[in-house]
Amino acid sequence: MLETLNRASQAQVGNSAVSVKNLHIRFGADDSGFTALSDVSVEIPAGSLVTMLGPSGCGKSTLLRTVADLVHITDGSVSVHGQTPRKAREGRDFAFVFQEATLLPWRNVIDNVRLPLLVGKREAGATYADPEELLALVGLKGREKSMPHELSGGQRQRVAIARALVTRPRILLMDEPFGALDEITRDKLNEELLRLWQETGTTILFVTHSIPEAVFLGQHVLMLAAHPGRVKEFMKVDLPYPRSLAMRDTVEFIQVTAHLRKLLGEC
Amino acid sequence: MANALPSEAEGRALTDGSRFRILDGLAAAILRHLPATLAILGCILLWQLVVWGFSVPTFMAPGPVDVIKAFGENAGVLWTNFWPTLMEAVLGFIFGNVIAVLLAVWFVYSPLAERAFYPIAVIIKSIPIIALAPILVLLVGNGIAPKIIIAGLICFFPTLVNMVQGLKSASPAMLDLMRILSASNSEIFWKVRLPGSLPFLFAALKIAATSSVMGAIVAEWIGSSYGLGALIIEATYNFRSPLLYATVVIAASLAVVLFFAVSYAESKIVRWKPTTDH
């Protein structure tokens, strides 16, 4: 299933951020339940940006939530930097960005970014990022004292990204983070996410419904098929970084999206 | 300073400007409430004219002038009967709401407790409060206790229902986030569930503020010799209608004051709006 991954071109050969082996996820009782993921195996190279694409019900969110220790593993294994998802969660190895910004509406912007530093187990020697710097990084310098209801949807999602980065996670798990935003805001945030990725070197796993978004962002695209959820293809996107929005009008880009659209039709 | 614009004055705390700001605010408030004020004054005037025009006997329906006179003549009686009712209403408000909030917290963390005791709360709620008063007098005597209990009971149910809903209002994504942050249950309670429940709680407290006064007065109807409720009964039986009306005005004012006290506390504590994402 990994044939399409051109591993030789990867700097981080044999250095997986996330390693999924023969993963089965079943929900509910044995006879009345349903299989969300069936025999999924995939290696996410450290430092890569992998987008996950697939029809509804293909289990892409479930896969992401399994990595995040939000879903109980039925069978198989998931390892995050060599640890179980639970250990990785406790060690603050990853952060999660939801489709909703999930900000606490009674806390101002900077206090929302600080939230991860106030709860859970904090490692004694861990160094965390400066919330003010992170807000500047996501373009919200000067809005520290704003309340969430004073921000636009896009701005709230930027705060959520800053909050995710405050613990300096090695992996960023993003579940359709820009899915509810308008196209212009979404384009802008896509570009900024690429910049963040290149500046921080964080591994990013990004679930999306949009083929252009998957291709624009992804170093690799993981295509899942539905009923049951399984890996359809894990392909490298041979488009150079840094990428700009104009790239989406090039023949190369359109060839990749056309290929994925055809694959999606077969799922 | 004297000619400072309101917007400028707003920025300067503890200067002369702040006094003007208060005056400006007052003027704006009066202007905003002018239609309501005029309407109320119009009703009172109409009431007086009807009483005069149809020569309604005072014992049947006193005019506003009679009621105002009753305030002056009975100031001492009204004052001494006002305090017990205030105490009963406030203590009932506090006890009823504290117990409701604690029970709501228990229900949210123990589904078994919720299933076991929620129906009992509904049963108690469905007993007419006026029927409960004599039972409580028999149980705990004729002192201040049955009044506080009834005022508390009347507050209890709306607060319980709202608080349970408020504590459960945290979004699944928010709870997922807290789990990913490895937050403890107490961190989730203090940082997410409790602050999120405050708008629900205050909605209930505003209802409770007015109904606690009603509870105290109803409780005073049953064999009590003091309080606004007792005064209402006494004034009615003696055909002292102006005193009756004055008592009712005092009782209503008490409820309004308590309501605005809770609203003020809400405006100071809940200074945020829920965000509907995107």
Q: Where does the pLDDT of residue B276 fall: very low under 50, low under 70, confident under 90, or very high at 90 and above?
A: low
Question: HSE-up of A155 (CA within 13 Å, CB side)?
Answer: 18
Return the CA Rg of chain B.
Answer: 24
Task: With CB atoms and an 8 Å threshold, state whether A100 touches B277.
Answer: yes
What's the pLDDT at A29?
Answer: 74
Residue range B197-211: average pLDDT?
A: 94
What's the pLDDT at B11?
Answer: 43
Q: Could you tell me which chain B residue has the CA closest to the CA of A111?
A: B191
What's the pLDDT at B10?
Answer: 43
- Which range among A229-233, B107-111, B190-194, B271-275 shows the weakest confidence by mean pLDDT? B271-275
Q: Please write the tens of the pLDDT for every residue from B48-64.
A: 999 888 888 888 888 88
Bigger pLDDT: B99 vs A201: B99
pTM for this prediction? 0.82
Q: CA of A61, closest CA in chain B: separation in Å?
A: 13
C-alpha span between B193 and B167 (Å, rounded) = 5
Task: With CB atoms and an 8 Å threshold, state whether B274 touches A105.
Answer: yes
Q: CA of A116, closest CA in chain B: separation in Å?
A: 6
C-alpha span between A113 and A157 (Å, rounded) = 11
Task: With CB atoms and an 8 Å threshold, state whether A119 touches B181.
Answer: yes
Q: Could you tell me which chain A residue has the CA closest to the CA of B184?
A: A120
Residue B275: its chain A contacts at CB < 8 A? 101, 103, 105, 148-149, 156
Task: With CB atoms and an 8 Å threshold, state whether B181 touches A116.
Answer: yes
Q: Nearest CB to A121: which of B182, B271, B278?
A: B182
Q: Nearest CB to A153: which of B180, B274, B278?
A: B278
> Tokens 């009204």 identify what position?
B78
B168 C-beta neighbours (distance < 10 Å), count: 14
Q: CA of A149, closest CA in chain B: separation in Å?
A: 5
Q: Taking 50 as the threshold, does the pLDDT of residue B12 lie above it?
A: no
* Structure tokens that stand for B32 in this block: 């905003």
Q: Where does the pLDDT of residue B17 fall: very low under 50, low under 70, confident under 90, or very high at 90 and above?
A: low
B65 touches chain A (CB under 8 A): no
Question: HSE-up of A169 (CA within 13 Å, CB side)?
Answer: 32
Task: With CB atoms and an 8 Å threshold, state whether A68 touches B180.
Answer: yes
Q: What dihedral angle (degrees, nearest 10) is formed by the CA atoms of A8, A9, A14, A20?
A: -100
3-class secondary structure per residue, B201-247: HHHHHHHHHHHHHHHHHHHHHCCCCCHHHHHHHHHHHCCCHHHHHHH
A&B contacts, CB < 8 Å: 83
Residues 196-235 on B with a CB inside 8 Å of A are 196, 198
Which residues have a Cβ under 8 Å from the Cβ of B276 and sit 6 or more positions away? none
Q: Taking 60 as the threshold, does the pLDDT of residue B230 lie above it?
A: yes
Task: With CB atoms and an 8 Å threshold, state whether A100 touches B181.
Answer: no
Q: Which residues partner with A224 through β-bridges?
A: A231
Q: CA of A21, closest CA in chain B: separation in Å?
A: 22
Q: CA of A101, closest CA in chain B: separation in Å?
A: 7
Kindly report the backbone phi and psi dihedral angles of residue A42, in degrees, each rounded to the nearest multiple of 5, phi listed first.
Answer: -160, 145
Q: Could you tell me which chain A residue has the CA closest to the CA of B187?
A: A119
Whether the complex's predicted ipTM is more than 0.90 is answered with no
CA quadruple B152, B157, B158, B160: dihedral sign: positive
Q: Taking 90 as the threshold, does the pLDDT of residue B204 lie above it?
A: yes
Which domains are delineated in chain B? 6-53 (no CATH), 64-269 (1.10.3720.10)
Local mean pLDDT, 10-residue blocks, chain A (267 residues):
33 72 87 86 94 90 94 93 92 92 94 92 75 90 92 93 92 93 90 90 94 94 90 91 89 93 88
Residues 41-100 on A with a CB inside 8 Å of B are 65, 68-70, 89-90, 92, 94-96, 98-100
* Helix ranges (DSSP H) in chain A: 60-67, 85-90, 109-118, 131-137, 153-165, 183-200, 211-217, 251-266
